[in-house]
Every structure is written in C-alpha cells, then in structure tokens.
Structure 1
Amino acid sequence: MQSFVYAKIPLRPGAAEHMDEVHEAVEQALAARSAGTLIGWGRSVSNAGDAVMHHRLDIEVDGQARGLAVLKEALAGLGVPDGTELHYTVDGEALQIVRAGASWAEPVRSTATSRHMRRTGR
C-alpha cells in the first residue's frame, strides 16, 4: 500500500547546490529496493515570512515501514544534518522521526502542519 512521506532537510550554507545529488540518491535507493518514488522537491520555510530554511522531498512509499527504513538509511548515508525530519501518517495521526547524531529518534507526534493531520470535530 502506498503512503505519503515527506523529508525536511535543514539547509546548511552551500548545501542547496548539492540537492540534485540528494534527489538522485534517494530515487536510486527507493528504486533499488522497490520501495517507492520521489514525487517532488523544493525549498521550504518553517513559518510564513521566514527565509528558506529546509529542502523538502515528497515521496510515495510502497509499504510504509520498508519505505521509511530505506529513506532513513539513504539519508544517513548522504550525511544529512541533525534536525532532518521524516513526516508520515499512521491511522490518521501525523508523526515525525528526527535525525540526531548518528541515529534517528523514535517517532513522535508531528510538530508540522500537514495535509495529513488528524481531523478533529468536523
């Protein structure tokens, strides 16, 4: 079953020029394991009016657990910076995993507003 995942990669000085390499590596990792497709990317901000702070990758994974495992491995292999986030939804609840040091933290509720957030009371 396909699921939507997006990655937010903090942009370090000079990193924007290397994002094509990141796109290609993520696409290759997903294809090699038949784990999904990179469907879009671009620069994003955390709050309206902020300067560009992140590079966002939009991904459709085939099998959420497998897709997330491939993404975590591929992004770690690319040396993404601490604070890189993977956002996804499980049973209507928006979750995120954050890279810190040499590992990925446990999933927590997402701090980002997303089209995949759980609807309440409407």
Structure 2
Amino acid sequence: MKLTAKAMTAVAAASGLVIGMSGQAAASTSVVMTAYYGGYVAGTGYFNADPSGSIPGDAIRACDTRADGVGIEVRMDIQPSGAWHTDRIASTRGHKSSYCSPWKSGNITEETTVALKICAVKGTWEDCSPVVYGKA
C-alpha cells in the first residue's frame, strides 16, 4: 500500500497520506499532520511551536493509532536549505498501537522555519509525506 499526502487547505500530493495542518495566529506556527494508510487513519504527527502547559515548545511527537503493523515517524529539518536533512525524529517504532512517542524537543531560535514530514515505517521500508512547514 502507498502512503499519500494532502493538506487540509490544499492538495500536497496525490499519492495516499493525508496531512491536516493547523496553525496559530502568532508568528510561530504549530502543525498537526494526519497519516492515512490503506484508506484508514494510521497516525498523527505534531509540531508544537510554543510551550503550552506540560507540552514543550519546539517539539515533535508521533502517534500510531492503528494496529496495522506500520509505525509512524515525524521528522524535522531545522532551517531547511534545499536537500532534506533530518535534525530531529519522533518515532513509534518498536511499540504496539495505540502509542504516542515522547515529545522530542530542543530550543530553536524564534521565527526559524522548520520543515516537517510524517512517515509510515516498517523495518527498512518507509513512505513519507511531502514536506510541510512550521515556524518556531
């Protein structure tokens, strides 16, 4: 099966993973991505730009919501400059669903652009969404 991507506001790809995005009114932009695999919601990925209660800022998290044998990863490229470079990964690999990874955080300079993608993973196989952008 193929993972495809589509943003809530516009189609990001015609391949199979759907990404829903939500942003904040401030200059920083948080992102929520929903992965569809085989026609079902497989998982969700999060980028939280600013701290909120117990949720850290500049943090990513992956949640696997379907027992389909496929894990979910959220990957971040901080200050993207062309070719993808993974700076941070949140993964559900090795865990049974329903499972959410811990928040993976680290300080990022305010207003820095971050590139994000959500991937379905199993062993050495992976299928990732097109890139979406947030702002720290």
Q: Give the TM-score taking structure 2 as reference length.
A: 0.26
Relative contact order higher in (CA < 8 Å, ≥ 6 apart): 1
The structure where strand makes up a greater share of residues is 2
